[in-house]
Amino acid sequence: MGAWGVLRRIGVLAALSLLATPLTGPSQAASAKDTLRAVPQGGAVRLSALRDDTRYRDTFLREFDSLTPENGLKMAALQPRRGRFDFTAADELVDFARRHGKAVHGHALVWGLSLPLWLVDHGASDQLGLRLPPIVLPRLPGALGQGLAEGATVLTGWRRDELLAIMRTHIATVMRHFAGRVAEWDVVNEPMAADGGPAPSVWRRFIGPDYVELALRAARAADPKAKLFINEFGVEGPGRKLEGLLELVRHLRARDVPLDGIGLQMHSHILGFHDQATLEHTMRRFAALGLEVQVTEMDVGTSLLDALALDRLARQAEAYGAAARACNAVAACKRFTTWGITDRLSWIGAGEAPLLFDAAYRPKPAFAAVRSAFAPRRAKPAAARQSRRWRWRAGTGARCGWGSCSGLRAGRG
């Protein structure tokens, strides 16, 4: 048989093979991939560690999908002098992430802590040319903590219009600089007090409680494509603070204020953490308001004098597993981030051993618990999804959006 005959026979066999293949779409491998839901896992990182520690860098690149700068995008780092922005280190960090295919979660544009001193002392130190570190007030309980925060801001003496211009300029400058490179931002960080009211800060005192709305509107104007978040701690379970945040979100929604998501920080401890059901319920309450949810800063402290190390690690794994399973169970939960990578560089100290990798970069039981919780799973068959969609439309004729249907009520960082 000549060469042409061989080619003809190969072609016929190939055609018969295709005809014998069921015409049900892509291959089994591709189909399985399309029906899996994966929750990206992020880590808060330090630029100095990425530069100097190969194990730190390799662990991040191997095990994490996204990057949140621990401090590199905060106001104290980006605007150390009034009106003078320094993006050198931040650009290096963001470019590193993009070069390695990692998403960046911007943290944070407006916060009452980690401020440049010129913002707290009304520019006195800036006018003297003093390059002093940012102010980080200790978090003290109850009236003592509130009094300290109030005292630190009352001395600054800003006019509303002056401070509002500073806030808007900072948001616009930073977001426009990173437009197209940072796709989501914690626009306002920790706006809530424990009693459910607005937390004391220089922004709240001299602009007013509407600074949250004004910051979000400024952020949307600066980068219309970016997702905008409010990021908060201590709102994962029932309490006045959670109800206060939900009420704030409803107020913003009623005024058509741009807001895309809520970050649940989830700083926790093995002595007290929320179970999966509680966390799911909280996430679904925000989802019902039309918001994306992210776990943004999780760590679980383990310091106990009367417990064996293995017991502490088991409890820690239980806490991480509950949070990860809750996130995986709620479709609105789009990312799961830990506040750090290794116990060696945790913001609360290596002794707390709060992260997924120990000080020697070995994965802990908590790491296995998180990965197990996010194990791929198949979605419902397409036919079932179509049937449910038809019944919903035929049965109600409603159009749902933003958590409601017509006629129905629907150091951390």
pLDDT of residue 303: 85
The segment with the largest mean pLDDT, out of 30-39, 112-121, 162-171, is 162-171
- Among the listed residues 190, 232, 280, 318, the single catalytic one is 190
Read off the pLDDT of each residue in 32-52 and give the average, rounded to a whole number. 76
Angle at 291 between CA 191 and CA 105, to 5 degrees: 65
Read off the pLDDT of each residue in 173-195 and give the average, rounded to a whole number. 97
pLDDT in tens, 55-83: 999 999 999 999 999 999 999 999 999 99
pLDDT higher than threshold 90 for residue 253: yes
pLDDT higher than threshold 50 for residue 381: no
Read off the pLDDT of each residue in 189-207 and give the average, rounded to a whole number. 94
Per the omega criterion (within 30 degrees of 0), is the bond before 20 cis? no
Is 318 assigned a catalytic role? no
Q: Which residues pair with 66 in a beta bridge?
A: 42, 103
- Among the listed residues 70, 213, 280, 297, the single catalytic one is 297
Using pLDDT thresholds of 50, 70 and 90, give the confidence band for residue 117.
confident
pLDDT of residue 313: 93
pLDDT higher than threshold 90 for residue 403: no
Higher pLDDT pick, 309 / 195: 195
Residues of the chain above pLDDT 90, percent: 65
Calculate Rg over the CA atoms of the chain.
Answer: 25
Residue ranges and CATH numbers for the domains of the chain are 36-390 (3.20.20.80)
Read off the pLDDT of each residue in 266-273 and give the average, rounded to a whole number. 94
- Quote the pTM value: 0.77
pLDDT higher than threshold 60 for residue 393: no
Pairing of strands 400-401, 292-301: unpaired
Is 297 assigned a catalytic role? yes
